[in-house]
Amino acid sequence: DAGVIQSPRHEVTEMGQEVTLRCKPISGHNSLFWYRQTMMRGLELLIYFNNNVPIDDSGMPEDRFSAKMPNASFSTLKIQPSEPRDSAVYFCASSSSGAETQYFGPGTRLLVL
Amino acid sequence: QKEVEQNSGPLSVPEGAIASLNCTYSDRGSQSFFWYRQYSGKSPELIMFIYSNGDKEDGRFTAQLNKASQYVSLLIRDSQPSDSATYLCAVKPPGGGNKLTFGTGTQLKVEL
């Protein structure tokens, strides 16, 4: 079975532009997580969904960030407008109900110039 | 105080030695504790998790938990160069849900 799929794998954009990151969780998993990883702050949870419903978005840094999960097989994380401090690796992870293991996607490396 | 603290390292050990990685957490009510491994440029992958005080062994890996001291550790026996990676400690806070709080990780280097 395919793992968590993320696209794009790399994104370079200019400050002020809109950025959309995409994630397809493992089939059958009903929890989806968006993380951001930087050298300074490590791996931080931004938001997570259970059964397509946002459960905890307390890690979303500000209103410029938004996330959606329109169906069980797709989620987006959008940054509008983007800023240089948003440069990081963004990971999507999924897990199945009652399971402890979160499976991470390969990540999207975002550079905002 | 950070919720989950780890020494950033690098921790260098010779091949064949025991590597000891440590983690402390601030929320005394935390119930579940996880160790993830992350190779450079790759995504984190779960090594093992532990709930109860004491030791849990899985192959060359042993997780140790001391809730009274709010301390969790990972021992890697017979360290191999392929174990060179960053090890992330993660804690599930009380109150249910699937949220994990990660430490910033300890870089391990196993030298030939």
DSSP codes of every residue in A34-88: EEEEETTTEEEEEEEEETTEEEE-TT--STTEEEEEEETTEEEEEESS--GGG-E
What percentage of chain B reaches a pLDDT higher than 90?
84
Write the DSSP symbol of residue B26.
S
Q: Which of B100, B101, B103 lies closest to A102 in CB terms? A: B100
| Dihedral Cα A97, A100, A105, A106, nearest 10 deg | 180
pLDDT digits (tens, 9 = 90+) for B54-93: 999 999 999 999 999 999 999 999 999 999 999 999 999 8
A31 contacts B103? CB cut-off 8 A = no
* One-letter amino acid of B65: L
Radius of gyration of chain B (CA): 13
pLDDT digits (tens, 9 = 90+) for A76-109: 999 999 999 999 999 999 999 778 889 999 999 9
A95 contacts B98? CB cut-off 8 A = yes
CA atoms within 13 A on the CB side of A76: 9
Q: What are the DSSP calls for B53-110, one per residue?
A: SEEEEETTEEEEEETTTTEEEEEESS--GGG-EEEEEEEEPSSSSS--EE---EEEEE
The residues, ordered by sequence, that sit 6+ positions from A7 with a Cβ below 8 Å of its Cβ are A21, A22, A108
Computed over every residue of chain A, the mean pLDDT equals 94
Task: Answer whether B101 touches A (CB < 8 Å).
Answer: yes
Chain A closest-CA separation from residue B44 CA (Å): 6
Q: Which of B43, B46, B104 lies closest to A106 in CB terms? A: B43
Lowest mean pLDDT among A22-26, A31-35, A99-103, B11-15: A99-103
CA gap A4, A94 in Å, rounded:
7
Mean pLDDT of A59-72: 94
CA gap A9, A42 in Å, rounded:
19
* One-letter amino acid of B61: F
pLDDT digits (tens, 9 = 90+) for B17-54: 999 999 999 999 898 999 999 999 999 999 999 999 99
What percentage of chain A reaches a pLDDT higher than 90?
87
Provide the pLDDT for residue B94. 80
Provide the pLDDT for residue B1. 66
